[in-house]
Structure 1
């Protein structure tokens, strides 16, 4: 596997247009701010440079370039495989209620005997990420890892995804990787502290939470957050909700607030909050968040076969925008901790999101996560 990482600057891109010297590229991924990928027209420019490649990208809350967090440029990685095939499936959703069906249809288009993994990028505001993941997994099977995340818009107004087209809202893009050569390692960790007691979700509908222990959800948040509640939903990024399946206590998932309804006294989260599950509030502590990022890197690295790999190795980092909001200028510490654990064997590339898609650390079930750092290593084994 060969990688070309660069910022979408004219000087960089012009050097890549020399077709005679550029190796064949099958996949190009790009991440940038919503304003950037709207004004800079990355798809058209990248398609000119890589006419035969599949080009996929999304808007983000910040791009990870090496050990830096970048806001002002579009970050790109162009990937050439030795033995791996890829396939693209995409779909535009008319409503969030179509998310499960969308996932199933994408799964049907990508499934195959040699399907090794799927990278998913989806609209972060108009897609129920939990349903999308469940739909795909229900078709391709739980043994096929799903990785990726939900596009970020930085202001809860609009998020954009491109799938061999100009980026737009309400789009889901999924890339299937096929063959025995490609291998994935996974890591996902939070580092948030819980506070308060477990409460029962007594009324919810999909990702909309109405009541906890019979009390309006917004009332509970306002009581716990105090003055911070005035800034909801934005300040909710600092106080996510941990939910747990009582029939499977290892299945603990963190959920982030996307919006609220003051009349209904309800909160809408990035993924489902099922009735009957347990829930409790969380808050961030800087040092523990950094340790969580390092733990995610350790999990991913331990799950990767490096000795038999061929060529370069990619580490895809997808972290939650809520972590960035809370950590502020110290956000570089979680990136540095991740890279220190990964070492120099992996080329880092990633973005800040409204939701992260990865196998769950304990249950290994593919889930939509919030407020986590998720890291996926991608390598190809050497040809025999």
Structure 2
């Protein structure tokens, strides 16, 4: 595996690492601020850098490159696989009337299943129901194939997200990277570090990822009463107080953050499903707790590996970044300390993270986690 990396900072300055290495038909992961991707010139710049590259763009709430976390710019990682292969599929959820299950199934049906080892997904993140997207993809995949990835971000603006494959980034795009190869070793893990507090509530009315009522009371009103003065800053302030959702259908609780609120309908739209009958608690975090969570994720991802990771793709939640503020790089440094400095690190801060729990292959949508995908060949 040969890898090049580079970045564009918020002042417009480029930096290129290992640029003397000539890559053939590389997979190029390009994570960038949404404002950067809105400039279509950036596509031409990346195409000039990698004329035969497979260019994948995703907007972020922060870019991870090595041990650094950057804002307002772009970070790219170009990978040439020596013993493995990949195929890239894309689908636009807008062509499916925003039906995430249908879009996910359509994407999954495009995947060649023969020899398939893993799928990494980069999805639009501003209105997609990530749980339904995963359900759609998994419905047409072999049970042994795992999915990891993340929902694109837009800093803390929650305005719109962009993604694209071999074309300028646009709204609604969902991209799947299918990986093949007998020698590929791929491991993954996720961990939060948040803790629940306050009274337990029951979801008494919901539909998909739209939350209407808790304990038969309007959920948005109840949530605003918890936030107090911070309610005026919704949905951004919700990133500091996500929900722990324990569904009757799941063994473990999942964390859910709010993508947006609907004042007219008095509802909250979350990044993933919130089934009726689920038990809900508010959550909060400390900086040290979040950093410890990143360390635990790295330990889980490396625990049973036979080889050292060559590439680590980190997807962490924008809510973690807001809580850690100036200490945000510490969670990335903790991961590197565990997985080893031989691994090239790439990634982004997201609106939702996709990964199975470590003891099975069924993917879940997470919020407020550090999620790792470790790859070697």
Q: TM-score range by the shorter chain?
A: over 0.9
**CA distance 1:300–1:96, shift in 2 (3 Å):** farther
Q: State the TM-score, normalizing by the size of structure 2.
A: 0.93
Match of 2:203 in 1: 201
Matches within 5 A, 1:36-115: 36-39=36-39, 41-94=41-94, 97-115=98-116
**CA distance 1:12–1:330, shift in 2 (3 Å):** closer
**CA distance 1:199–1:67, shift in 2 (3 Å):** same
Retained in 1: the 8 A contact 2:6–2:17? no
Match of 1:231 in 2: 233
Provide Cα deviations, 1:180-226, integer angstroms capped at 9, x if missing partner: 12221111000001012332211001110001121111122112222
Retained in 2: the 8 A contact 1:84–1:182? yes
Retained in 1: the 8 A contact 2:144–2:361? no
Distance 1:97 1:214 in 2: 28
Match of 1:257 in 2: 258
Distance 2:223 2:17 in 1: 51
Alpha-carbon offset, residue 147 of structure 1: 1.4
Structure 1 stretches of 4+ with a deviation exceeding 6 A read: none
Match of 2:170 in 1: 168
Q: Structure 2 unaligned runs (5+)?
A: none
Distance 2:232 2:23 in 1: 53
Structure 2 SS opposite 1:341:
helix
Match of 2:248 in 1: 246
Distance 1:338 1:23 in 2: 27
Matches within 5 A, 1:1-384: 1-8=1-8, 12=15, 16=19, 22-39=22-39, 41-94=41-94, 97-154=98-155, 155-248=157-250, 250-306=251-307, 313-361=310-358, 364-380=361-377
Alpha-carbon offset, residue 172 of structure 1: 0.7
Structure 2 SS opposite 1:28:
strand
Structure 1 SS opposite 2:328:
helix
Retained in 2: the 8 A contact 1:186–1:376? yes
Length, aligned pairs only: 372
Retained in 2: the 8 A contact 1:47–1:53? yes
Alpha-carbon offset, residue 256 of structure 1: 0.7
Structure 1 SS opposite 2:135:
helix
Retained in 2: the 8 A contact 1:316–1:375? yes
Structure 2 SS opposite 1:316:
strand
Alpha-carbon offset, residue 72 of structure 1: 3.8
Distance 1:140 1:111 in 2: 10
Alpha-carbon offset, residue 363 of structure 1: 5.2
**CA distance 1:10–1:323, shift in 2 (3 Å):** closer
Provide Cα deviations, 1:159-181, integer angstroms capped at 9, x if missing partner: 10011111011111111011212
Distance 2:78 2:7 in 1: 11
**CA distance 1:140–1:360, shift in 2 (3 Å):** same
Distance 1:232 1:138 in 2: 35
Distance 1:293 1:53 in 2: 31
Alpha-carbon offset, residue 280 of structure 1: 1.3
Distance 1:25 1:298 in 2: 32
Distance 1:113 1:24 in 2: 24
Quick check: 257-266 or 230-239, which moved more?
257-266
Retained in 2: the 8 A contact 1:251–1:362? no
Quick check: 261-270 or 89-98, which moved more?
89-98
Structure 2 SS opposite 1:251:
coil
Q: State the TM-score, normalizing by the size of structure 1.
A: 0.91
Question: In angstroms, what is the RMSD of aligned CA positions?
Answer: 2.0
Alpha-carbon offset, residue 364 of structure 1: 4.6
Distance 1:378 1:368 in 2: 21
Quick check: 219-228 or 347-356, which moved more?
219-228
**CA distance 1:188–1:15, shift in 2 (3 Å):** closer
Distance 2:291 2:365 in 1: 21
Provide Cα deviations, 1:28-59, integer angstroms capped at 9, x if missing partner: 11111011122373332222232222110211
Q: Structure 1 unaligned runs (5+)?
A: none
Structure 2 SS opposite 1:181:
coil
